[in-house]
Amino acid sequence: MKAFVINKYSKNGSLQLTEMNVPEVKDHDILVDIHATGVNLLDSKIKTGEFKLILPYKLPLILGHDVAGVIIKVGKNVTKFKVGDEVYARVRDQRIGTFAEFIAINETDAALKPKNLSMEEAASIPLVALTAWQVLVEKAKIKKGQKVFIQAGSGGVGTIAIQLAKHLGATVATTASAKSFDLLEKLGADIVIDYKNSDFENRLSNYDVVLNSQDKETLEKSLKILKSGGKLISISGPPTPDFAKEIKAPWFVKIILSLISSGIRKKAKAKNVDYSFLFMKADGDQLNEITKLIEAGIIEPVMDKVFPFDKTNEALSYVESGRAKGKVVIKIK
């Protein structure tokens, strides 16, 4: 099968198109003929080696986390799916590789594709929607009437998180450039702040939850808008010792993460704010819940561009540019 791989970690290197073996199908696996895959900033961060401490992959490595396609083979112990089912998934860590023609994934990572979405639309959903779900439903436990600040509202996570937070009954504030205001208000944002001309920390106060996806400076500014007892949940770091425990990292990784997150944890504690880091995980059951919301018209995908498979490097570069509004997708079939 054709696949785009990295042979070494590199900031400037491009992915190499190569021939690889079709993956082996284990007892609990489904083999998916990939029709489309989503592109995420996580793919770029893995390519550069930014996450090699917490995600040590063997090289060469096929990148890609999101998949939509058709099952062509099932392992002997598979009970949830059959050959011919249309599915979508965020593939679990250590088994990524959706920038390819086929992938074998554990059946518990997958869900039936929403009936009202195309393959390309479905491929745009899993990683960003599961991130939003795990931040807002699982960690923050958002309740009706709470106030939520979602940074970078026009990004992949932001466009889904705004819709989910509104569905949960929250008042939602976000940041974006002025040209994205109409889109974000349509998605349900109550307050949209032009990050180029206004400082959110001077406009917002007494918030219950912040979803941080930006840099260290923005993370620290976010503390200023949270109420006592509020939650600051970051998907862009720094990771914490609790996260190291969660992933059963070696002792030295725990020490490193403790050191790099000590500053923000101390500042959060001083304000009686709970700081945590979230690295989203594959979860087919949660994806089934998201499917219900999509089929009910409560959440809709927001897509920027669809690239052909042979333009995978251009797709990744476009995501890295930060210009995308919503998701970038690669059409493979």
Q: Would you place residue 222 in the very low, low, confident or very high pLDDT band (cuts 50, 70, 90)?
A: very high
Rounded distance between C-alpha atoms, residue 187 and residue 185, angstroms: 5
In a domain, 107, yes or no: yes
pLDDT at 257: 95
Q: Tell me: the pLDDT tens digits for 157-208? A: 999 999 999 999 999 999 999 999 999 999 999 999 999 999 999 999 999 9
In a domain, 285, yes or no: no
In a domain, 314, yes or no: yes
In a domain, 14, yes or no: yes
Q: Are both 111 and 148 inside the same structural domain? A: no
**Structural domains counted in the chain:** 2
Q: Are both 98 and 164 inside the same structural domain? A: no
Question: Cis omega (within 30 of 0) on the bond before 239?
Answer: no
Q: Tell me: the pLDDT tens digits for 119-140? A: 999 999 999 999 999 999 999 9
Q: Are both 102 and 183 inside the same structural domain? A: no
Residue 150's CATH number: 3.40.50.720
Q: Would you place residue 54 in the very low, low, confident or very high pLDDT band (cuts 50, 70, 90)?
A: confident
Q: Which domain holds residue 6?
A: 2-124+302-331
Q: Tell me: the pLDDT tens digits for 282-326? A: 999 999 999 999 999 999 999 999 999 999 999 999 999 988 999
Q: Are both 185 and 233 inside the same structural domain? A: yes
- Average pLDDT score over the chain: 97
Q: Are both 147 and 266 inside the same structural domain? A: yes
